[in-house]
């Protein structure tokens, strides 16, 4: 259950070297995310006079909203994110920037907002935060103003008796928030929730929801169109394939890398940004990060591989390579190997242990996952994500035992 404090700390210390674009990799890049997934859903809502974006991060989606409004207000609880946006959009004088406490919209005047937008951020907040935002949006939106918010639905998988999740919370979703609660909060605030697309995210669990709502000019509508889209990640994969099919790479020639052309060739303009020594692990790692930020996946993999080969006991190199493989959905098995190598250096790193447990769940290695979650609880007895995930895995193991008469088959 991510608290406001945990969210502030997480996004303050997060490595923003890729500006958040790493989360767009399953689409083949942020351009593809915007044009293939977001714009088709948003096109009826923009342009808009005044757009409010809640939790913009480093401006991953903000860059596409800038030309579609006369006024853009950015609101985030993390000072680092607001300052990054201020620098990134400094030439756009119709953009304003505000740091809040993670739940207040006091910086926004009433009856002023034509569209409120949030993507891939409010999925991490709990029901109390979402309720606070929706309650205020009942006043901040103009009559006829609309909202497009991506939020958690994993609360729909809570056991009614115990309150614990029955599915692993692999992507740090707000454990108490659901599509049903969003509809209830809209009704409380006098808003109309027109449609909800309940989607999967990285696995088969319908953990997320995109809600479309408005402040009615007259009476609120009572019916919400609800669509369970279990193919949402397939949509992302198709977008990535299409983006790659129609992309032309210019000037990618092997230079100074000592690698064969076409394997880890690096554009000259990238090489010029950093001093590059192919025999130095740190140099290789930096090159991998830079190439990843340019969505040059194949080349980045080659440099990350060389960095961990040259310095296999470096926790950061192993961990970042694992993060890269996981975020790009290149190979769960290879990502798992990187994380295990990182844990060989720091076996008590809770965040990495949780990732290993979640990968084991995705690979259906439930016995291994249970062991990892138990290890997390030994290190942090009150860790709610580990407790919920362990309970879900143990329930799955009991079900498998009842169905097969044994503990199920599982490789190490």
DSSP letter for each residue of 198-263: EE--SSSS--EEEEEEE--SSSPP---EEEEETTHHHHHHHHHHHHHHT----S----SS-S-TTT
Say if residue 254's pLDDT is above 50.
no
Q: Once rounded to an integer, what is the mean pLDDT over residues 236-263?
A: 58
* pLDDT tens per residue across span 132-186: 999 999 999 999 999 999 999 999 999 988 888 999 888 889 999 999 999 999 9
pLDDT of residue 25: 87
Return the biggest CA–CA distance within the chain.
68
Question: How many Å apart are CA 277 and CA 288, to the nearest integer?
Answer: 13
Averaged pLDDT, 121-130: 96
Residue 250 has pLDDT above 50, yes or no: no
What is the mean predicted confidence (pLDDT) over 105-119? 97
**Residue 409 in this model has a pLDDT that exceeds 50:** no
Whole-model pTM: value is: 0.66
The per-residue pLDDT for 287 is 85
Q: Is the pLDDT of residue 248 over 60?
A: no
Could you give the domains of the chain? 4-240 (3.40.50.150), 251-322 (1.25.40.10), 348-412 (1.25.40)
**pLDDT at position 326:** 83
Model pLDDT for residues 177-191, shown as the tens digit of each residue? 999 999 999 999 999
In this predicted structure, what is the pLDDT of residue 256? 38
For residue 298, the cross-strand partners are none
Identify the pLDDT of residue 208. 97
DSSP-derived secondary structure letter, 261:
T
The length of the chain, given as a count of residues: 412
pLDDT in tens, 343-352: 999 999 988 9
Average pLDDT, the chain: 87
- The secondary structure of residue 37, as a DSSP letter, is I
Q: Is the pLDDT of residue 113 over 80?
A: yes
Rounded CA separation 350/372 (Å): 10
Q: What is the pLDDT of residues 28-76, one digit of tens each?
A: 889 999 999 999 999 999 999 999 999 999 999 999 999 999 999 999 9
Q: Report the C-alpha gap between 163 and 182 in whole angstroms.
A: 18
pLDDT greater than 50 at residue 398:
yes
- The pLDDT, as a whole number, for residue 324 is 87
């Amino acid at each position: 259950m991510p608290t406001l404090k945990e969210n502030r700390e997480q996004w303050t210390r997060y490595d923003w070297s890729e500006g958040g674009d790493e989360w767009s990799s399953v689409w083949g890049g942020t351009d593809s995310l915007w044009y293939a997934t977001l714009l088709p859903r948003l096109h009826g809502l923009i342009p808009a006079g005044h757009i409010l974006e809640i939790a913009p991060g480093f401006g991953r989606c903000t860059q596409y909203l800038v030309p579609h409004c006369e006024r853009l207000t950015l609101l985030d609880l993390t000072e680092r994110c607001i300052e990054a946006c201020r620098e990134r959009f400094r030439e756009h004088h119709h953009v304003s920037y505000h740091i809040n406490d993670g739940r207040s919209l006091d910086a926004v005047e009433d009856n002023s907002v034509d569209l409120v937008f949030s993507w891939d951020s409010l999925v991490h907040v709990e029901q109390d935060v979402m309720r606070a935002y929706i309650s205020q949006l009942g006043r901040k939106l103009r009559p006829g103003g609309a909202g497009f918010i991506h939020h958690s639905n994993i609360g729909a998988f809570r056991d009614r008796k115990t309150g614990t999740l029955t599915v692993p919370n692999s992507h740090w979703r707000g454990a108490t928030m659901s599509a049903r609660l969003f509809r209830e909060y809209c009704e409380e605030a006098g808003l109309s929730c027109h449609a909800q697309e309940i989607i999967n995210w990285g696995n088969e669990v319908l953990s997320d929801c995109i809600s479309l709502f408005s402040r009615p000019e007259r009476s609120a509508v009572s019916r919400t169109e609800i669509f369970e889209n279990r193919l949402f990640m397939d949509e992302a994969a198709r977008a990535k394939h299409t983006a790659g099919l129609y992309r032309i790479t210019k000037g990618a020639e092997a230079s100074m890398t000592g690698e064969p052309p076409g394997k880890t060739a690096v554009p000259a303009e990238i090489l010029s940004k950093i001093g590059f020594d192919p025999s130095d692990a740190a140099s290789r790692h930096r090159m991998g990060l830079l190439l990843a930020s340019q969505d040059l996946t194949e080349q980045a993999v080659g440099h990350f591989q060389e960095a961990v080969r040259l310095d296999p006991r470096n926790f950061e190199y192993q961990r970042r390579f694992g993060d890269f493989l996981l975020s790009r959905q290149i190979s769960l098995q290879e990502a798992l190997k990187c994380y295990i190598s990182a844990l060989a250096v720091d076996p008590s790193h809770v965040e990495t242990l949780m990732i290993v447990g979640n990968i084991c769940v995705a690979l259906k290695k439930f016995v291994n996952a249970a062991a990892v979650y138990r290890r997390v609880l030994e290190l942090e007895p009150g860790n709610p994500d580990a407790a919920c995930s362990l309970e879900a895995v143990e329930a799955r193991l009991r079900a498998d035992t009842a169905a097969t008469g044994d503990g199920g088959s599982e490789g190490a």
